[in-house]
Amino acid sequence: MGGTNPYLKPIEFELPTRPYRVRFIAGAEEKVVEVDPAKLPYGRDGLPGSLLDVALAHGVSIDHACGGVLACSTCHVKVKKGGESCNEASEPENDRLDEAPGVTPQSRLACHTVPNGSVPELVVEVPAWNRNLVREEHH
Ligand code: FES
């Protein structure tokens, strides 16, 4: 019997082909980082070229309790500008986001948000609860 399990669908995303910047805002602190497509992926956490990958490679601390496999929502960020250059949130990502505090239409999980470089500068807010590593465990 055929059927599709949405949780098994591959996550679709497009890697950038040109450099772009991300302005990470964490409270009063700001850090602008340059993303070089030739160097992606920077690390192993989250999708290659994801906002989590970019942040961690440039010393921007974003909590990522599950290591970037959509098993938590601690990497919750808000893409204030340039969200249109990112892959669409998948169903599993949206399900996880439902569990995150303070969700807005700009909310994404950093480990599964991959900008394609079509917008020269993204603005990404790292929420306070993430910066402080305060989280509630679900039972
Ligand atoms: S790090 Fe767990 S969902 Fe992103």
| Residue 138, beta-bridge partner list | none
Q: Indicate the pTM of the whole model.
A: 0.88
Q: Which pair of tokens denotes residue 69?
A: 């496999």
Calculate how far, in angstroms, residue 115's C-alpha sits from the geometric centre of ligand 1.
17
Contact between residue 8 and residue 91 where contact means Cβ atoms under 8 Å apart: no
The per-residue pLDDT for 128 is: 78
Q: In what order do the strands lie in the sheet with 107-109?
A: 29-35, 20-26, 121-125, 76-81, 107-109
Contact between residue 45 and residue 57 where contact means Cβ atoms under 8 Å apart: no
Whole-number Å distance between alpha carbons of 39 and 48: 10
Element at 33 (helix H, strand E): strand 29-35
Calculate how far, in angstroms, residue 14's C-alpha sits from the geometric centre of ligand 1.
19
What integer is the mean pLDDT of 101-124? 97
Contact between residue 122 and residue 23 where contact means Cβ atoms under 8 Å apart: yes
pLDDT tens per residue, range 12-52: 999 999 999 999 999 889 999 999 999 999 999 999 999 99
Calculate how far, in angstroms, residue 1's C-alpha sits from the geometric centre of ligand 1.
33
Whole-number Å distance between alpha carbons of 53 and 69: 12
pLDDT tens per residue, range 70-84: 999 999 999 999 999
> Is 99 touching ligand 1 by the criterion CB < 6 Å?
no
Omega within 30 of 0 (cis) for the link into 41: yes
